[in-house]
Amino acid sequence: MDWLHSLNPTIQDVLSAIGRAILALIPIFVPVPFMIWYERRLLSWMQDRIGPNRTGNITFSSTSSAVPGFLKGKKIKLFGLAQSMADGLKLFLKEDIMPDKTDRFLFILAPCIALFVALTLGCTIPFGGDKRFSPVADVNIGMLYILAISSLGAYSTVLAGYSSNNKYSLLGGLRASAQLISYELAMGVSLGSMALITGSLKMTDVVTNQSGPLYGMIGFLHNWNILTPMGFVSAAIFAVCMIAETNRPPFDLPEAENELVAGYHTEYSTKRWGLFMMAEYMAMLTFSMVFATVFLGGYQWPIRWDVFDFLENNFLIGIVTMLVKGALGLTAYIWIRATFPRLRYDQLMNLGWKFLLPLAVVNLVISATWIFAKASYGSLAALITVGICYAVLAFIWAMVRHRAKKVEPQYRSRSVNMVPATRRTVEMVSNKEVTP
């Protein structure tokens, strides 16, 4: 490796940056087929089905002379993992259809933007304590970078919807742009309160800030943000916004099948649709990793013990830790998809603007209170203060809800009488003989 050190320092920097970029892409790019398989299997299990469990199994004949002796009657099991490979192969070999009267340039550009966003989102996430290998760029605006890149994701759906020259696609694109703008705000504010607590926007600082003992008192646990009260609220807000940003159920209104055929990618087929699909899964994984970095202590192990320090600083073990945490996030994604029905559009907007955003702003103020109380009176006092704050908030919330319930008339049902109820129509409905 001496020739590397003999190079110009600028070229050395560039080479190491390229190396780090490749190292950052591999853990996001490679798991995609496994993620698709995992989602299908887990979803099938939750829905009492079996799912793809045998594609790629090979059973060798026990009698044929063409099979060598050590393979006779043997089985090679892949548990259906080859299914997503086969699907991918099919997507790339199918006939490529691009409808007439599309805006060709934008039509091709849209999935590329989706892929670009999914790949570059993780560039500021540290995968291990070793700063030589990750993150790609340890910039001092790491959190803002994540917000900026994720806000660009709206372009892929909007452009896909516009360029397809299809009413359903256009509606899907419109919905996507409105949804992404709405949930970006709450996401930004919830990350902002974590930036307040960290005191820095650097992602590596966010991780190292979470490495101390919990509240400075409990020694065997890390000071993970999710274990602090305002961190927990922030994490809940961020998780909801994360699902909305990646257009996953129950926030998949841009691609609601029963209303919009397939939404913004109605006209897409083969490779380009495959790119959208890949981008969605990669965005899910990277968002889960961002969640893990900001709230779950990044590459740290859950128990605080000096022996683990060596493992946490190792890059490869760090990647495995991050991937396990990412897989946890993925499981939550799939679990939520299997549990909740899709939101109505007004519910979506109300949740974003009237619940999550005010909650995030209040949480920001409470985080500031926590910092002040901790600096002045110690962390136990801070914990009590913040607890009182949340109790007061919950009380006010309950009061407001109670008042609102009294003011608004309560309808017993949502049904509408289409025909004014006369004797004749009532008899028609109740299937009686109509007497003239």
Partner 1 sequence: MMLAGPAALATVGVVASKSAVRSALCLVFNFFILAFLYFSLSMEMIGITQIMVYAGAIMVLFMFVIMLLNPKLIDEKKDYKLPIGLLFGLALFMLLGSQILPKLMTANVPAMEYEVGSPKLVGEALFTTYVFPFEVVSLLLLVGVVGSVFLAKRRTP
- Residue numbers at the binding site for partner 1 (CB under 8 A): 103, 106, 139-141, 144-145, 147-148, 151-152, 154-155, 158-159, 161-162, 170, 173-174, 177-178, 180-181, 184, 200-201
Pick 41 or 265: Cβ nearer partner 1:
265
Pick 296 or 357: Cβ nearer partner 1:
357
Taking the complex as a whole, the smallest distance from the CB of residue 190 to partner 1 amounts, in Å, to: 15
Pick 139 or 393: Cβ nearer partner 1:
139
Residues 6+ apart with CB under 8 A from 219: 213, 304
Give, in degrees to the nearest 5, the angle at Cα 7 between 6 and 11.
155
Which of 265, 277, 284 has its CA nearest to residue 337?
A: 284
Which of 94, 116, 100 has its CA nearest to residue 163?
A: 100
The answer to whether the CB of 269 falls within 8 A of the CB of 380 is: no
Pick 197 or 322: Cβ nearer partner 1:
197
Pick 155 or 370: Cβ nearer partner 1:
155
Pick 148 or 324: Cβ nearer partner 1:
148
Which of 337, 287, 280, 35 has its CA nearest to residue 160?
A: 280
Taking the complex as a whole, the smallest distance from the CB of residue 212 to partner 1 amounts, in Å, to: 21
Taking the complex as a whole, the smallest distance from the CB of residue 113 to partner 1 amounts, in Å, to: 10
Taking the complex as a whole, the smallest distance from the CB of residue 230 to partner 1 amounts, in Å, to: 20
Which of 76, 75, 83, 77 has its CA nearest to residue 41?
A: 83
Alpha-carbon torsion (123, 125, 127, 130), positive or negative: positive
Distances from the Cα of 180 to the Cα of 41, 267, 290, 398, 422, angstroms: 29, 22, 18, 29, 48
Pick 79 or 116: Cβ nearer partner 1:
116
Alpha-carbon torsion (305, 303, 121, 352), positive or negative: negative
Taking the complex as a whole, the smallest distance from the CB of residue 149 to partner 1 amounts, in Å, to: 8
> Which residues are registered as beta bridge partners of 303?
221
Which of 367, 389, 370, 351 has its CA nearest to residue 185?
A: 351
Taking the complex as a whole, the smallest distance from the CB of residue 239 to partner 1 amounts, in Å, to: 21
Pick 153 or 298: Cβ nearer partner 1:
153
Taking the complex as a whole, the smallest distance from the CB of residue 179 to partner 1 amounts, in Å, to: 11
Distances from the Cα of 48 to the Cα of 43, 54, 81, 108, angstroms: 9, 17, 19, 39
Residue spans of beta strands (DSSP E) within 10-117: 58-59, 75-76
Taking the complex as a whole, the smallest distance from the CB of residue 181 to partner 1 amounts, in Å, to: 6
